[in-house]
Amino acid sequence: MLRGAKELWLAILACLLITGLYAGFTVLTGKIPAASEFVGHTIGILGFILMILTETLYSLRKRSRSARWGRMSGWLQFHIFTGIVGPFMVLLHSSWKFNGLAGAVIILTGIVVFSGFIGRYIYTRIPRTADGFEDEGAIAGMQKAAVANARRLMALWHTIHIPIGMALFTAAFVHIIGALYYATFLR
Amino acid sequence: MRDNRLGCTTPLAIFASIITLLVIAGTSYASGSRFFTAGSLNAQPGREIGGITSHAEIGNDCAQCHPEPWSSEYMGDRCVRCHTDIGKELPDQSTIHGALKGDSATLNCRTCHHDHRGSTALLTEVASNDFPHAVTGFALTSHQKLNDTTAFTCLDCHPSDFEFDPTICVTCHLKVDNVFTIAHGLQFSENCLACHDGKDTYGKAFDHAQARFALMGKHTGLLCTQCHLNARSIVDLQSAPTDCQNCHQKDDPHPRGTSFECATCHNTNGWEENVAFDHQLAANFKLEGKHTGVTCDKCHTTHHLFIGAPTDCVACHEKEDPHEQRYGTRCDDCHIPTGWQENVKFDHNLAVNFKLEGKHISVPCEQCHTIPHQFIGTPIDCFACHEKEDKHNGEYGTNCGACHDPSEWKNATVDHNIFAFTLTGAHQTIPCLNCHINNIFKGTPSVCAACHGKDDAHRGAYGNDCQFCHTTSAWKPSTFSHNKTRFPLSGRHGGLSCTACHKNGQFAGTPASCAGCHGNPAFHRGLFGNNCESCHNTSNWSASYKGPHPNIADEGGRGVNHGGASCRDCHTKSLTQATCTKCHSNNDGGEKD
């Protein structure tokens, strides 16, 4: 189970580091890195890759049911870390312009990240083993109503979080295709 | 039962994706693809093209710039549809866009020109280091950093438009160096680009030596305008004359001016500093020998007057001429500048009517020219010098050269043919003194015996007229003809050697009678005397006796013809004895055996 908030601190540290580099480059060039230029583009690509990893690796691990790929708690921490750092980089990629589809993708990203924080909160309401399974022993000591309520919230959260995430990635892919079409293929 | 499907494959996730796509498609359709824009188009008005002055005026007609997905065109093709002037520049590398594009396959309009960055954002954004500004005629070599060391941006010089306003230069450079900029502007005008090309060609690092005129000495401290007066462009600067006179004519103290560049004698360190003049190169009077040690004013007696100084020797040396100008003014015909007495040279062969040849060449001048410094008028006849040496004691006059040449007295070449005694044959090759004993020529006898008397093999027997028999070619053979004598040689006498008759070289007195040589033969026994020719002739000694013969009858009037027998058939030993038995075996009355 998740203990403490190490992944959160690491994510904040990474974000600060990236922010420092971003700020330094901004000061050096005297302008905010445009999304279409090298720095802005690189940040966007890396951030999106992290988001893809966020979306896929933890989900796959959950379904592997094998400790061979590492503990669930570790993957969840990775999911949280990349789920914060990736969107933060995508945010920097936006060059602080939120109009059009690109703006919609940023907004959806923010929603998904916010949703993730809520999910983490609900997730921690139910005691779990290091492999992510519910800790029946610990649950036995809880009020049944509280456990049921947490389980119901978790299910509800999944029902909302996953479609929003899918909407985000769908919009992000359309954005990428559009960027390739206009900026890379110059159409 | 636990649902093991990935979240993205759940119906709800798929539904969310489809809804998202539909929303995007609907929004795009409704907004005319503006949904994909990263920002609004530039709205700053520029020059009018096709009735619009900014991209913003294109509005939602995205196809004006973005080709349809099925079109083969690219965005750049749509750019030059409107910006036709740029389209024409691209293939021409002498233009800005042509130079930028070059042969690159990756550079395109969007590399430098962006839009959708807001209504006031710059449409052109290119790193100044990448921009080939030199194509515009002004390189950015010296415009990399501002005075505060920050990098130049396009806006520093092109604040509102890329058409350059030259006053920008002055505005900025007044901040850099106020005093210089004002002074420089006053001196050369404020049209900086007339001279400056951004490479500092005419800036601080300008090397004046590259402009055909290196600044040295006192020139380095001058103001530019002291030479480049009223220069207003590069052409004006470059056309500044480089000859000294142009600036220094007013300083020229030489009274008659000079055709020389001042630098021929002077240098830039000062008019009086190390004045140097290479007399060897610049003047028609090279300095050699003692002339090199003479101070300039010794010859150039008028101060600062150099051209026109006379170059003839007497102009300076007249007072020193010991010849009193008898030999003209060209001392250098004989003398060299090393010294009057040094290697006095005179080409006797060119200048006078007496060429020096043979031994005359090595004779010291004064041997002939006995009066010091007196050369003209020296007699040229041989006797003037050689009278004392005349071994002929004046016999042949004073023109020694008629026979002698200057190489050697003995090499006389006398034309003996002018004399009565012409030289022919062996006389031509013998030394003169063989005949002219003791160098006495006159009176030499012309008779052969005078010289050849001692050689006379005839011991004077034929007198002194050797030429009667001999020629001058050789003693032998002689040209003697016996037929001219009283004893012509005939018959067998013609084949005899001379000595057969003329014993011991004795010719005179040789008897002409037959018996002188032939004597009285014993065979005749004195019967016929010495009148040999009455029976014999010189062709055939065997005589035919024609009678009368005692005891033998004359047969038929044909002389003694005793059966055709010869005298010796019967007279085998002498005519006084005869035998018949040589033919007849016995005295049978005439019958032969």
Query: What ipTM was reported for this prediction?
Result: 0.86
pLDDT on residue B257: 55
A94 contacts A106 by C-beta, under 8 angstroms: yes
Helix (H) or strand (E) run with residue B487 in it: none
Tokens of B237: 């600067």
pLDDT on residue B591: 35
Tokens of B584: 């007849």
Q: B228 pLDDT band (50/70/90 cuts)?
A: confident
Arithmetic mean of pLDDT, B251-275: 74
B385 contacts B368 by C-beta, under 8 angstroms: yes
Measured CA to CA in angstroms, residue A69 lies from A62, A73, A74, B142, B335 at distances of 10, 11, 10, 62, 119
Looking only at Cα atoms, what is the longest distance across chain B? 210
* Sign of the C-alpha dihedral computed for residues B490, B491, B495 and B498 taken in this order: negative
- Total domains in chain A come to 1
Q: Give the Cα separation of A87 and A98 in Å (integer).
A: 14
Compute the half-sphere exposure of residue B228: CA atoms within 13 Å on the CB side of its CA.
Answer: 23
Q: B557 pLDDT band (50/70/90 cuts)?
A: very low
Q: B1 pLDDT band (50/70/90 cuts)?
A: very low
Arithmetic mean of pLDDT, B173-182: 88
**Mind telling me how many Å the CA of B27 is from chain A's nearest CA?**
9
DSSP label of B210? G
Q: Please tell me which of B178-182, B486-490, B546-550, B585-589 the model is most confident about, judged by mean pLDDT.
A: B178-182
Q: Give the Cα separation of B468 and B462 in Å (integer).
A: 9
In a domain, A138, yes or no: yes
Closest Cα partner for B112 from B160, B46, B162? B162
Q: Phi-psi category of B529—alpha, beta or left, where left has phi over 0 and alpha has psi -120 to 50?
A: left
Sequence length of chain A is: 187
Helix (H) or strand (E) run with residue B546 in it: none
Q: How many CB atoms neighbour CB B231 within 10 A? A: 20
In a domain, A116, yes or no: yes
Contact B20 A170 (CB under 8 A): yes
pLDDT on residue B454: 82
Q: Give the Cα separation of B190 and B181 in Å (integer).
A: 9
Residues of A within 8 A of B76 (CB-CB) are 186
What residue numbers bound the domain in which A62 lies?
A: 6-184
C-alpha distance across the termini of chain A, in Å: 50
Q: Phi-psi category of B381—alpha, beta or left, where left has phi over 0 and alpha has psi -120 to 50?
A: beta
Residues of B within 8 A of A166 (CB-CB) are 7-8, 13-14, 16-17, 20
Residue entry with tokens 């830039």? B268
More confident residue, B469 or A17: A17
Q: Give the Cα separation of A120 and A153 in Å (integer).
A: 11
Reduced to 3 states (helix: H, G, I; strand: E, B; else coil), residue B270 is strand
C-alpha gyration radius of chain A: 19
b/e sequence B94-124, b meaning 16+ C-beta within 10 Å: ebbbbbbbeeeeeebbbebbbbbbeeebeee
Q: Give the Cα separation of B28 and B554 in Å (integer).
A: 189
Q: Give the Cα separation of B184 and B197 in Å (integer).
A: 16
b/e sequence B375-413, b meaning 16+ C-beta within 10 Å: beeeeeebeebeeeebeeeeeeeeebeebbebeeeeeee
Which residues neighbour B353 within 8 Å (Cβ) at sequence distance 6 or greater? B380
pLDDT on residue B21: 93
Tokens of B352: 């006078």
DSSP string, B105-127: SS--HHHHB--SS-TTS-SB---
Residues of A within 8 A of B71 (CB-CB) are 187
Q: Give the Cα separation of B358 and B405 in Å (integer).
A: 8
Residue entry with tokens 């032998």? B476
Arithmetic mean of pLDDT, A26-54: 90
Axis crossing angle, helix A38-64 with helix A144-179, rounded to the nearest 10: 140
Residue entry with tokens 């005749």? B524
In a domain, A56, yes or no: yes
More confident residue, B552 or B282: B552
DSSP string, B6-19: -GGGSHHHHHHHHH
A174 touching B, CB under 8 A? Answer: yes
Q: Give the Cα separation of A35 and A20 in Å (integer).
A: 18
Residues of A within 8 A of B35 (CB-CB) are 100-101
Of B16, B71, B114, nearest to A163 by CB-CB distance is B16
Q: B40 pLDDT band (50/70/90 cuts)?
A: confident
Q: What is the pLDDT of residues A85-101, one digit of tens each?
A: 999 999 999 988 888 88
Sequence length of chain B is: 593
The angle formed by the CA atoms of residues B362, B363 and B365, to the nearest 5 degrees, is 120
pLDDT on residue B593: 32
b/e sequence B7-36, b meaning 16+ C-beta within 10 Å: bbebeebeebbeebeeebeebbeeeebbbb
Q: How many CB atoms neighbour CB A77 within 10 A? A: 19
Mark which residues 44-73 of B lie under 8 Å from A by CB: 66-67, 69, 71
Q: Give the Cα separation of B96 and B99 in Å (integer).
A: 5
Q: Is the pLDDT of residue B535 over 90?
A: no
Looking only at Cα atoms, what is the longest distance across chain A? 63
In a domain, A29, yes or no: yes
pLDDT on residue B5: 67
Contact B74 A187 (CB under 8 A): yes
Contact A101 B69 (CB under 8 A): no
Arithmetic mean of pLDDT, B100-109: 81
Contact B36 A182 (CB under 8 A): yes
Least confident of B246-260, B285-299, B407-421: B246-260
Least confident of B258-262, B374-378, B407-411: B258-262
In a domain, A1, yes or no: no
SS3 per residue for B347-367 = CHHHHCCCCCCHHHCCCCHHH
Averaged pLDDT of chain B: 80
A51 contacts A87 by C-beta, under 8 angstroms: yes
Reduced to 3 states (helix: H, G, I; strand: E, B; else coil), residue A34 is coil
Residue entry with tokens 């009278």? B387
The angle formed by the CA atoms of residues B232, B238 and B241, to the nearest 5 degrees, is 105
Measured CA to CA in angstroms, residue B90 lies from B64, B77, B86, B381 at distances of 20, 12, 6, 100
In a domain, A161, yes or no: yes
Arithmetic mean of pLDDT, B341-348: 77
Which residues neighbour B59 within 8 Å (Cβ) at sequence distance 6 or greater? none
Q: Give the Cα separation of B81 and B561 in Å (integer).
A: 163
Q: Which amino acid is at B484?
A: K
Arithmetic mean of pLDDT, B66-71: 88
In a domain, A121, yes or no: yes
More confident residue, B118 or A70: B118
Which residues neighbour B105 within 8 Å (Cβ) at sequence distance 6 or greater? none
The angle formed by the CA atoms of residues A100, A105 and A109, to the nearest 5 degrees, is 150
Of A34, A166, A171, nearest to B13 by CB-CB distance is A166
Closest Cα partner for B89 from B79, B81, B101, B77? B101
Q: Is the pLDDT of residue B382 over 60?
A: yes
Q: Which amino acid is at B106?
A: T
Q: Is the pLDDT of residue B213 over 60?
A: yes
Q: Which amino acid is at B437?
A: I
In a domain, A104, yes or no: yes
What is the tally of helices (H) and strands (E) in chain B?
A: 22, 0
pLDDT on residue B588: 47
Portion of chain A with pLDDT greater than 90, in percent = 41
Contact B20 A167 (CB under 8 A): yes
For chain A, helix, strand, coil in percent to 5 are: 80, 0, 20
Mark which residues 67-126 of B lie under 8 Å from A by CB: 67, 69, 71, 74-76, 108, 110, 114, 117
Tokens of A183: 């900026």
Arithmetic mean of pLDDT, B1-23: 80
pLDDT on residue B43: 92
Mark which residues 71-130 of A lie under 8 Å from B by CB: 97, 99-102, 104
Q: Name the phi and psi angles at B49, rounded to 5.
A: -130, 120
pLDDT on residue B560: 60
C-alpha gyration radius of chain B: 68
**Mind telling me how many Å the CA of A186 is from chain B's nearest CA?**
5
Which residues neighbour A60 within 8 Å (Cβ) at sequence distance 6 or greater? B6
More confident residue, B508 or B239: B239
Q: Give the Cα separation of A152 and A154 in Å (integer).
A: 5
pLDDT on residue B546: 65
B555 contacts B562 by C-beta, under 8 angstroms: yes
A185 touching B, CB under 8 A? Answer: yes
